[in-house]
Structure 1
């Protein structure tokens, strides 16, 4: 079993959740999302982020607006739709339940690996 592959799969599983959380705090530019994810040690490349943002937009969870930039072309800022907020709230409940369940397993009898 390849540890790196397992780690990548775990990160992919929570990437959408993290992106929705970042956007839920307000309008955000894609490069700022990448910076925040990288700072949190969730390594994502543009080739992964942009298709995911497009899929979330096409699903009605995100919208975007163009904002003029003083240092180049207009920038696309992403915002959460009402459906996106509802979806994120449901994901948050699932995350909370999953986190509790996993913690119960990995700390059974007060021990962890």
Structure 2
């Protein structure tokens, strides 16, 4: 199954979840997502998501100087981002339950009604 489209739909939640406990810079977020099992996540998609979440007010950022290379821009979740993550958790729970129910091969499908039937 090509999970590219699925990943696009949940990348905001995944990025917020990654930084909910510890601030991180862009590539560190990519690495954590991949280690969590989202191996197909692209660098450009994550950086675009970070910019969008920052612009939307869900993340704050700060720069940390580096002795051995370029400065790193760290991202931190803020109260608006925590509220967004909580809402996305609820949405995911409802959506995944509905889809799991539909995909359950042991469950007998319910009879479908014809449009207008039962009125």
Question: TM-score normalised by the shorter chain: which range applies?
Answer: 0.7 to 0.9
Q: Which moved more, 1:42-51 or 1:79-88?
A: 42-51
Point out where structure 1 has 5 or more consecutive residues left out of the alignment: none
Equivalent residue runs for 1:23-62 within 5 Å:
23-39=19-35, 40-62=37-59
Bigger proportion of residues as helix:
1
Q: 2:25 touches 2:74 (CA, 8 Å); kept in 1?
A: yes
Point out where structure 2 has 5 or more consecutive residues left out of the alignment: 109-119
1:62 Cα offset (Å): 0.6
Alpha-carbon separation, structure 1, partners of 2:59 and 2:80: 8
Bigger proportion of residues as strand:
1
1:41 Cα offset (Å): 3.1
TM-score by length of 1: 0.84
Alpha-carbon separation, structure 1, partners of 2:12 and 2:48: 11
Aligned positions, number: 107
Deviations along 1:53-98, whole A, 9 cap, x unmatched?
A: 1111110001111112232122111001110100100000111111
Q: Which moved more, 1:34-43 or 1:91-100?
A: 34-43
Larger-Rg structure = 2
Alpha-carbon separation, structure 2, partners of 1:95 and 1:70: 41
TM-score by length of 2: 0.80
Equivalent residue runs for 1:92-107 within 5 Å:
92-107=89-104
Residue 4 of structure 2: aligned partner? 8
